[in-house]
Structure 1
Amino acid sequence: MLDEFGPFEEWEVSGMSDGGEIKAQAVFLEESQARNAAAVLDGKRLPFSKSRRLIAEVVTSVRFDVLYRVEADERFKTIEEEMGIVVILDAWLSQLQVFGAEGRQEQVAEALDRFVKDKVSSLHFIPLDQENGLELRGDSERGLQELRSKLGKDKVGFDESSRSIVIHGSENDFIKAKQIMARGQPGPSRDRLMQEQDCEICLCEAEDPVMTSCKHVYCSHCFVNMCYAASAQPGEIGIICEGDEGECGHVFEFFEIRDLLPSETFEDVLQESFTTFVQTHQEKFRYCPTPDCTQVYRVASQTEEPPPTYTCNSCLACICTGCHAAHPSLTCAEHQDQTSGGLQALNTLKKKLGIQDCPRFITT
């Protein structure tokens, strides 16, 4: 019965309950296929039993990635002791419940807000790459020990999967770590070469210089501003080197931009690029119409009939990807007729003329 509506990824059948019911779950490739199946099959008589009917419902699942560490518990305990309150984590509702004396709510909220913001912005990654001049001096363990001795034992880690140094600290700690690693490279290479060159944008001696893979040098703040400006430009997204008086033309790859920018700035540039892309491709992408919702969905093509329904994984609104309105169980034409007042005008006219609906058909 279900395969008539499209292919599905999973099929799971549970055992029979005490009431003789059997539950099954199918995961379709497309949400629209699941909704069509539920609309057609719900309440349908089962072919093997005249007295039983099928119950078909669409189930929406939402997954959230939550960063939670032991250090969060330790920080909560510190806040509890300092302010004389109790903090309880409600994982089901994704909430922090605070119990304590009245009048301290604002202080507690500020302390928790500072803690969350510090944790979000405190992770920085430095990929180990000979091309960008960032390699650990000597063996890896000695190099890590040097960083830990300069920054603090708890601020430096190593991610084996990405071969990256992980800095748990401020942006200044991140910059200092890169400087320590760059100083450890043999010969006169990067640091001295960068100090001897002018910035390709402001044409002054480069301040806190960065060198690109095409061997051009920028002030760190000039490079950041160039990335921001390029990400906000409409059209094809790309950050191009301005070296050789704008003649270089080298397009920076994703990983190079990530390595040259601080982590928080890199995230901002990505967000700006994404926002610009969506705004300049309204025929392909739209924002969820729910106020303050930032989710994006793909617009249905003109050949898709009926247009598939998109369920927002943030606010759970069901939106038609064709007319961009919420009208469950209605077609786009029926919804437009209702909102334009056509149905109301028809009902008024029928009442005025004394016309009754046919009992076998329903006007919607």
Structure 2
Amino acid sequence: MEPSLTPRPHHLDQYAQKYASSLSRVPCRFYARGNCRDGDKCRFSHTTPPKTGDTDNVAAPSSYSDTRGQVPCQFYLRGICRNGDGCPYSHTGAKEGKAVSSIEETNSDNFSRQIAGAIVTFIDGAKVEKISFPSDFSAVHLGNLPPNSSPSSITNMLAQLGLDVPASQVRVRPLENGSSADVRMEDSTFAKTLCAKLAKDLGNTAASRITAITVSSPVVLGSNAHRVDSKKVHCSWHRPSRTVRMSFGSQSIARKVESAFNAGIYKVVGQAVRSVSLHGSRGGYHGVGWTLSLSNLPANILAGDILSDIPVHLRPRRIGLGDPSYDASLDEANTIIKSQLLQIGPLEYWESAAESGGKRAKAKARFQNEEDARSAAAGLNETALPFHGHGRLTVQLVHSARFKVSERIYQAVRPKVGAEETVWKAQHLVFIPYEPVRGYRVLKLEGESTRDVARAKKALEEILEGMIAMSEGNVLWSPSFSMNGDSYRMLKDIEERLGIVVVRSKRLRRIHLYGPEEKCKEGSKLIVDISKAKSTDGHSIELDDKQFNWVCHGGFQKISATLGVKAVALDIMSKPKRLLLKGSAADYKLVLSMLAGEKEDESFGTALSENDCSICWTEADNAIKTHCRHTYCADCFEMLCFSELDTTKSTEPAIRCQGGSGKCNAILPLDELWDHLPSSAFEDLLEASFKSHIRRHPQQFQYCPTPDCNQVYRTTTTGAVFHCSNCLIPVCTTCHASHPGMTCAEQKDFASGGYEALAKAKKELGIKDCPACKTAIEKTEGCNHMECRGCGTHICWKCMKTFARSAECYTHMNREHGSIGLDFAGID
């Protein structure tokens, strides 16, 4: 048995002195970070010598520069770094709970949405540019393609067959012995045509070897706060590694060093070494040498990194550095992995793996098409690395949900979000609150489990909804809350007193409270008291064009000077426009008399202050400014966006600026609407625009007739059948009834008895169908001007002629029928 304290020969003492001397030239990595505890007694250098090259087999340590301190710690940026001050990565440049700027923050939305079974594209003003349906698309999977096929080579081949296909619609899938591709076109007959042409061309050209199979066509959509997005992938692979062998002449020393590495006492560049093996060999001192192998170390490791934690008297006689596992540089590896992804589909962005990090290089990519991301995860995960025969590429599909909320709301709900973060971390979900921009903060949830991300999304939505003020089971609202007067100041007092956030929604006519639950409940009770106290002092006066012109030219300022600035507001979005007053009945009568005078008073200015809202004409609350330099309350701006879609104008509605007393009329870009609206309101706006478009075009689009089914289909004159994907009912796109196995005429004959009975009942009850959309209408009182609630068409009840505007209908009734249909007989 070898004694543990055998004196070493003289030549080994000289060897130890040689190592001790050489260590004085090795930079101290703790000194470089400013936290060396040994001070002047440190055996490593406290200077920064020039970097020296590595050697394959060295007897003295080489210099090493640890650059990890220059790299931001990704875990610290998310607030979850467990290493604290001992972390080798930088903990500067970011605050906990806030993420650094990232390319992912940019809004790459193409503003396409899937609504009611349709694929809808929007343009500036939130106008509907195009409506497509899944049935409008078709796709083909091509097999037996040459190994080096590309989108351009495939489009050239298809051109020879007489088919014009853009390269952007081709997705190539590399295979071991060739290639395959998916071709997608917005043409329902494309797949059938291509398959027929390839079959006809059999034996004539190189295309004859190609196989074609019709497949389902993926839908390309933009980002949407109402759904979980699955366009992102995380790619990772092992960095190049090497094995280091240390030679010892003493078994006991070798075992001590082995035990220290296995226990994590000795580390290499701050990282524990888990792959340790020891074996003996002939030829060492006493006839036997001992070799300790450390595997899977970074390829750029130097001898000095190995020796840094080993005491001088336990150091090996020699260190041998093995060959790297592969020679490709990180830049080359990034380029190769990115090219593999691009062969599947176009990317919105690519984030290369960083030089520093753990044992695995990690890159991120986001595809333009969700289907491409799924294909990448399914086809590339666990495949061999092109630059490393024994290595494997990992590609994980990442699901994410994004929200955009007011910064003041986020700060109020941070404690609740923090409590949920504990659950999300346990589920390996990442929550990122980006830095606020223009008063809004983007929040993102990410994870590899669709179910966990969906659950977390729902929990966050409930938090961001806040508590809605209620009274006796009903949503609480008072007209006084629409004005920036006493009621508004009282709401602000409640905010300050209870330390919560109170948000008015004029559009939805409700109040949201954010903060501790008990404080919000207390605030809700106080708001109920305000509502009761202010329920009788609000007045609304409708303005005709002449009165509105007077209000815009000094009248509003004159009324404000008479009743007080906080007692009057203007609502220019209502139809007709209204003057809102807060005061007594005497104040109301006074304003009516001022309106009756309608005398322009040049002593009062007509221009709004720069800080006044263009909608309510009072000082803007949470002010926003448009590109045309007009100011709005944040809530008034939201109300403007939705009210523009409710218009019954014959032209397609678009969201326009109402600054300059309604004269600006500039169309607001979609990017600007995204900037100034919460994400939930923005998505609601696009959906409202779509519904308005469908309502205006009943000859082109119809809703599924099944009750509570909101799917939309395109009308035809051919009797084509629409198979509703929601309720599974077949619907005729010509007569809009469900009659499988029958023609429209046969269905009409079959149901004629029922139709006759229905027509008789309608006639007896005075019910008529809208000439435009067939919605049943019943007149109970009033004149003969009717407006269809289904499509907004104006109708003369006498002759059922239709008009785009109410004024045209009234002119027609007086000219053609002698009156508008009001009977004043019997009235004194």
TM-score for the superposition, normalised by structure 1: 0.44
Higher relative contact order (CA 8 A, sep 6+): 2
Larger proportion of strand:
2
TM-score for the superposition, normalised by structure 2: 0.21
- Greater Cα radius of gyration, structure 1 or 2: 2
